[in-house]
Chain A
């Protein structure tokens, strides 16, 4: 599995407008809907599932990265998008820092292994300081796509 296998290129947002966790999740799910990765009819339910998960514990894991996610039966396998915020999003992160890089994932509840694999890939990519920094500073979708491709090559 590669990052580019489940991250929808056309849903990537290089300039996230939202400044709160709720608005960021809304904006990113909307991008997945526009990219036809999440059906418009399920948009509200997917957002609610992610917000519900977030209430159980923040996915702002530190270093300016958040990985909001939820399981939802309307998707096959795993779909995800990536967003970069120049101003930073208030995400109640574990280290108290604003979030500049967000990965949002929706996975099918019957595929826990695929979810774990996708999360492992994301965590491995953000553990790389250079990659994380470059992604946090990218200003266009193409830059982010190039960095994801690079991550896939490096991580194998």
Chain B
């Protein structure tokens, strides 16, 4: 397993990153929209995990199901050629608190 990556059931290593929600209001609708818009700039598949809950990181409907408040830890997995830059962009967006705090 490469650093930060996870092995899927078929043995393929998928780049992943552990992140934390730092903005005070959590991932409410607007941050969710920004997250999805950022993810959609890339071709890779994006999956976001919160504990046992797993959602499509390219769907606002899905992202809102995470109920990710401030302090929540998430794992973002990106599967595809541009996974690296995609994870970087999503990580940065979250660190920048979705430009709202």
Binding site for B on A (CB under 8 A): 53, 56-57, 59, 61-63, 67, 69, 94, 112-113, 115-117, 119-120, 123-124, 126-127
Contact = CB atoms under 8 A, between A and B. Distances in A.
B64 A120 contact: yes
A116 B23 CA distance: 13
Contacts of B84: none
B7 interface: no
A67 B70 CA distance: 22
Interface string B31-70: 0010000000000000000000000000011001111111
Contacts, number: 46
B95 interface: no
B92 interface: no
Nearest to B60: A61
Contact of A112 (B26, B33, B65): B26
Contacts of A57: 30, 33
27 contacts: A53-B30, A56-B30, A57-B33, A59-B29, A61-B29, A61-B61, A62-B60, A62-B61, A63-B61, A69-B29, A112-B25, A113-B26, A115-B25, A116-B26, A116-B27, A116-B28, A116-B68, A119-B28, A119-B67, A120-B65, A120-B66, A120-B67, A123-B61, A123-B64, A123-B65, A126-B61, A127-B61
Contacts of A123: 61, 64-65
Contact of B70 (A69, A94, A112): A112
